[in-house]
Amino acid sequence: MTESNGGERDSLAPVIPLFGSRSDRAPAVEPAPDDPDEAATWHATWIADRAAADRSAARAAHPATGTLPVVAPAGEDEAAAVAERVLLRKLRTRSLSLREARSVLREHELDEIELEGIVDRFVSLGYLDDAALAEQLIDKATSRKAQGRMAIAQALSQRGIPREVVDEALDRLPDDEAERALEFARSKARGFEGLDRDTALRRLAGQLARRGYGSVALSVARQALDESSAPPRRGVRFES
């Protein structure tokens, strides 16, 4: 993206024109026609034809850095250039689902063909990937938040990840729902000391249910409270 087509110079990474400079473009690509309908068709076709070359150029220029380069706008339209720049800035701070990316682009004056062209190009470059985002969110939910499947599925759905992608990602989880629930319950059980049994059980089961462990919440809460209230074991003492 350059200053001449409505963008700004970015200090985070060099500008990488994915489709090459004007002088490097293949002569077989005709200039965009004046008619808007024909221009839209030409624009989408051009993107599809150049997707593989775009990916190779971007990876070669930024190998394994984990950073997003500044992508040159797909067309010469100023609104598209600004929309891409805004989307890239958001992607530098957090991953987005395809639905979230479309929501960002719809804040700008783009028709659906332009919008989907940008989304398709970002998908081909690996900047947008619902399956990868689902795995990232599931890992965070299980390792940091101690969440169960129900809570994870709801969180992914709220991010706009399609149901089939969510189900496929959850199917790859190990079958350790009860173990993770018990680990969480044990960490909380000591905090209910001093309460009567029924109150402690109800509150701990409620915490488990809110974290998505609905089916095992009650049994796991009961086991954790039993363990926390049991007297400590003493070793056998042998006398000589």
As a whole number of angstroms, the distance between CA 26 and CA 199 comes to 74
| pLDDT given for residue 229 in this prediction | 80
| pLDDT given for residue 215 in this prediction | 82
**Helix H segments across the chain?**
36-61, 78-93, 98-105, 112-124, 130-143, 149-158, 163-171, 177-189, 197-210, 217-229
User: Encoding tokens for residue 222?
Assistant: 């009961």
Burial 120-134 (b: 16+ CB within 10 A, else e): bbbebbebbbbeebb
| pLDDT given for residue 71 in this prediction | 52
Mean pLDDT, contiguous 10-residue spans, the chain (240 residues): 44 44 42 45 42 46 45 63 95 96 94 94 96 95 90 95 96 88 92 90 93 90 88 57
Residues 6+ apart with CB under 8 A from 25: 19
The full set of domain ranges for the chain reads 3-128, 129-173, 176-231
As a whole number of angstroms, the distance between CA 178 and CA 91 comes to 35
- CA separation (Å) from 21 to 74, 104, 196, 214? 12, 27, 74, 57
The structure's pTM equals 0.60
As a whole number of angstroms, the distance between CA 145 and CA 53 comes to 40
